[in-house]
Chains A and B, each alone.
Chain A
Amino acid sequence: MPNRPPFPFSVGLSRRQALRGLLATAAFGAATKLSGCTATDTGDSPAGEATGAAGDVVVGFIYVGPKDDFGYNQAHAQGAQAMASVPGIKIIEEASVPETSAVLETMRSMIEIDGATVLFPTSFGYFDPYILELATEFPEVQFFHAGGLYQEGVTPTNVGSYFGYIDEAQYVAGIVAAHTSKTGQLGFVAAKPIPQVLRNINSFTLGAKTINPDATTQVIFTGDWAEPVKEAEATNSLADQGIDVVTCHVDSPKVVIETAEKRGIFSSGYHADQSSLAPKGYLTGAEWDWESIYTFLGQQFVEGKTLMAGDIEHVLRGGLADNFCKLSPYGPAVSEAAQADAEAARAKFLDKSLVIYNGELKDNNGNEILPAGKEYDQQNIALEKMDWLIDGVKGSTGS
């Protein structure tokens, strides 16, 4: 009989060996991280086993919340699914990544472990400093960010920015809202008074005023992107004041839409299609359409085009005409006249003949924003610095 060591001992030994092996691997990983990782794209494909079919472009998507929140993250996740169907693209995703150094770790592991060469960290707060930091460290990886923060010559060339003029869809939703409202009083549950939010409020109101010049929009700021109890209270307070159409700009409109339906008033959605939450009162909604832009970008990646080579533009912007946003299908409460007016406005956006902000415009304190005969086209930087509410909005941007 061979002189074997007893079984438990051999297990102990192998465990120790395994531990030693793990430690060595971890040390190696740390060393490669600290050395700045230059060997991302060597010929022997370090991420071969993770990428599936060889040669697929691995694209990483990072979301700040859950992927099925009926809101901002769901819109991006649906776009990511569309990109995944482009042949030659493989996507990897991580949800609920906070806007802290946690996103650095997520991006790093997507690049180093999964072999991602393109990243879409979708939340606003990921950009500065996290994306900028990693973009300098990994100049061969492309970073796309949803927001308006690209500066020529300052931002690294492997960082691109894309965003949609979703206020065009809000303008059309305002037309539908004013048509449907019996009181002429509309409500808007907003998170924070920042330019993107104010722009949606103003465009929604301007759209409504083309149908009913006396229409007003009462704004309630909840103070943060996700405050379910306050959003419900806000919707209830609006309903108590006789407002019969509400829309919102919060991360997940689910609470607002459901509460409006419970109160028997109409609602207009945001970010994604919420019609299933309010089968009676849902009118339409301003939705992101990341599917078309993500599919387009996916095709570019497969063809080998990059930001760094200048094949892909660093700043991608567009509205309804460029399929950056769209409208939810009209609900049962929307009259034919409302649909006709809404479709007419949409058609003007599609052929780019409609400018939302044209003079004379006054803010709700009576100050002139734009004199008669002048206009702000969508690309105007003044609109990205908006800090006023248009005449007809009840509310204040100050705190």
Chain B
Amino acid sequence: MSESLGLLGIPLAILAGTLRGSAPFLFVSLGECITEKSGKINLGLEGTLLLGAMTAYGVSFLSQGAVGTFWAPWLGVVAAGLAGMVLGAIHGWLSQQPRVNDVATGIAMIIFGSGLAFFLGKPFIQPQAPQLFTFEWGAWSSSPQLQSALKVSPLFLIGVAIAPLLHWFFRATRWGLTVRAVGDSPQAALAMGISIFKVRMASIMAGSFLAGIGGACLSLYYPGVWTERISSGQGLMAVALVIFARWNPIQCLWASMLFGGAQALGPAFQSVGIDSYYYAFNAAPYILTLLIMVITCSPKQTLAGSPGALGKEN
């Protein structure tokens, strides 16, 4: 059995929590980043996250007989992304109707997505679905704590790779320019002959695809179950995180890791005997979200980096 780590356990837990828990934040925030760059907000990603988690778990469980326990979770990941895209398509169509507010539609999509996930997910609460494999980066170490902390999910690595790719996409490609044009100045984009509807629809669907995969991280990697309380607001936090990251995919990556690590704070402190204020530590991610909102929100000015058409009637 392993030795006790004592106070060293705190940085280790935060490192492990970052590696384990930040993937859902990362995928949802990157998805929201794409969506908001096109000038629409999708609050419904909380519902997308839940539907993605349920779909991934269900598909992984049901397909394990047909494709084996290695590929079944990957099939689940793809299915989660596709399920997210379907929700995204609904939001994309609804939120672009005349005089329809995208925030209100998003809230409706939270309720719809989570309701659908709860309804279809009933039979998957109890069974155990095959989980995604992890890279054992800690195999060199003799410490079981380190070995466990350095189990890295391929999904997390994919997310880390997507962030700079997305940054490059927005900065250096024609399609990226198109999305930014639609988000910053729809009138100019229209004059260029770009279909605002199509670009926004594609952006919202792509964003929802990523958010669905974020759900798959929850149910197929960590904590690796499907329950109705699996997301605990992570989808909404990720939306706030995009503002914190100033719509910059690279900063989304750092912000997600900060939030992932913050989740580990409360349990890690208690495990070494620092048990005062554990409610405050447990609430760390939520407090962080609120602080970001307070610091960044101002009615007088828009934030640097904010897409020009975001939240406007158009």
Residue positions of A touching B, CB distance < 8 A: 65-66, 68-70, 74, 95-96, 182-183, 185, 187, 218-223, 226-234, 236-242, 244, 252, 254-255, 258-259, 263-265, 277, 394-396, 398-399
* Cβ-defined contact, B4 with A395, below 8 A: no
Minimum CB–CB distance from B185 to chain A (whole Å) comes to 40
5 A-B contact pairs sorted by A residue (CB < 8 Å): A218-B270, A234-B270, A237-B9, A240-B271, A395-B270
Q: Which of B41-49, B55-63, B186-194, B227-235 contacts A (4 or more CB under 8 A)?
A: B227-235
* Cβ-defined contact, B125 with A68, below 8 A: yes
Besides A233-B268, A234-B267, 10 other A-B contacts (C-beta < 8 A): A66-B125, A66-B227, A69-B227, A183-B1, A223-B266, A233-B13, A240-B5, A240-B148, A241-B4, A255-B227
* Cβ-defined contact, A242 with B4, below 8 A: yes
Closest to B16 in A: A236
Given A222-B267, A237-B9, A242-B3, are A255 and B125 neighbors across the interface (CB < 8 Å)? Answer: no
Q: Which of B65-103 contact A (CB under 8 A)?
A: none
Instruction: Find chain A residues with CB under 8 A from B30 CB.
Output: none
Instruction: Find chain A residues with CB under 8 A from B171 CB.
Output: none
Contact of A222 among B272, B273, B282 (CB under 8 A): B282
Question: In the docked arrangement, what's the CA distance between A180 and B310, Å?
Answer: 59
Question: In the docked arrangement, what's the CA distance between A187 and B122, Å?
Answer: 31
Closest to A189 in B: B267
* Cβ-defined contact, B3 with A396, below 8 A: no
Question: In the docked arrangement, what's the CA distance between A70 and B127, Å?
Answer: 10
Instruction: Find chain A residues with CB under 8 A from B145 CB.
Output: 239-240
Contact of A238 among B21, B271, B283 (CB under 8 A): B271
Closest to B264 in A: A233
- DSSP class of B's interface residues: helix, strand, loop or mixed? helix
* Cβ-defined contact, B1 with A242, below 8 A: yes
Minimum CB–CB distance from B250 to chain A (whole Å) comes to 25
Residue positions of B touching A, CB distance < 8 A: 1-6, 9, 12-13, 16-17, 20-21, 118, 122, 125-126, 128, 144-145, 148-149, 218, 222-225, 227-230, 232, 234, 263-264, 266-268, 270-273, 275-280, 282-283
Q: Which of B263, B267, B280 counts the most chain A CB atoms within 10 A?
A: B267
Given A96-B228, A228-B230, are A239 and B13 neighbors across the interface (CB < 8 Å)? Answer: no
Minimum CB–CB distance from A11 to chain B (whole Å) comes to 30
Question: In the docked arrangement, what's the CA distance between A399 and B232, Å?
Answer: 21
* Cβ-defined contact, A220 with B270, below 8 A: yes
Minimum CB–CB distance from B184 to chain A (whole Å) comes to 36
Closest to B8 in A: A240
Question: In the docked arrangement, what's the CA distance between A187 and B273, Å?
Answer: 12
* Cβ-defined contact, B2 with A394, below 8 A: no
Instruction: Find chain A residues with CB under 8 A from B283 CB.
Output: 223
Question: In the docked arrangement, what's the CA distance between A242 and B279, Å?
Answer: 24
Question: In the docked arrangement, what's the CA distance between A226 and B266, Å?
Answer: 15
Question: In the docked arrangement, what's the CA distance between A239 and B9, Å?
Answer: 10
Closest to B123 in A: A68
Question: In the docked arrangement, what's the CA distance between A238 and B9, Å?
Answer: 9
* Cβ-defined contact, A237 with B267, below 8 A: yes
Instruction: Find chain B residues with CB under 8 A from A265 CB.
Output: 1
Minimum CB–CB distance from A203 to chain B (whole Å) comes to 20
* Cβ-defined contact, A230 with B224, below 8 A: no
Instruction: Find chain B residues with CB under 8 A from A252 CB.
Output: 227
Given A233-B17, A264-B144, A399-B278, are A228 and B271 neighbors across the interface (CB < 8 Å)? Answer: no
Instruction: Find chain A residues with CB under 8 A from B263 CB.
Output: 229-230, 233
Minimum CB–CB distance from B249 to chain A (whole Å) comes to 24
Minimum CB–CB distance from B17 to chain A (whole Å) comes to 6
Given A252-B227, A399-B277, are A233 and B125 neighbors across the interface (CB < 8 Å)? Answer: no
Minimum CB–CB distance from A145 to chain B (whole Å) comes to 23
* Cβ-defined contact, B264 with A237, below 8 A: yes
Given A66-B125, A223-B282, A240-B13, are A229 and B21 neighbors across the interface (CB < 8 Å)? Answer: yes
* Cβ-defined contact, A185 with B270, below 8 A: no
* Cβ-defined contact, A242 with B276, below 8 A: no
Contact of A228 among B6, B227, B268, B278 (CB under 8 A): B227
* Cβ-defined contact, B128 with A240, below 8 A: no
Q: Which of B12, B20, B222 counts the most chain A CB atoms within 10 A?
A: B222
Question: In the docked arrangement, what's the CA distance between A223 and B224, Å?
Answer: 20
| Among all A-B residue pairs, the 3 with the closest Cβ atoms | A242-B4, A232-B223, A237-B271
Contact of B225 among A95, A223, A254 (CB under 8 A): A254
Given A182-B1, A395-B270, are A221 and B223 neighbors across the interface (CB < 8 Å)? Answer: no
Minimum CB–CB distance from A287 to chain B (whole Å) comes to 16
* Cβ-defined contact, B279 with A255, below 8 A: no
Minimum CB–CB distance from A180 to chain B (whole Å) comes to 11
Question: In the docked arrangement, what's the CA distance between A223 and B277, Å?
Answer: 11
Closest to A232 in B: B223
Closest to B272 in A: A241
Question: In the docked arrangement, what's the CA distance between A183 and B1, Å?
Answer: 8
Given A66-B122, A240-B5, A240-B13, are A259 and B271 neighbors across the interface (CB < 8 Å)? Answer: no
Question: In the docked arrangement, what's the CA distance between A241 and B276, Å?
Answer: 18
Q: Which of B16, B21, B144, B275 counts the most chain A CB atoms within 10 A?
A: B275
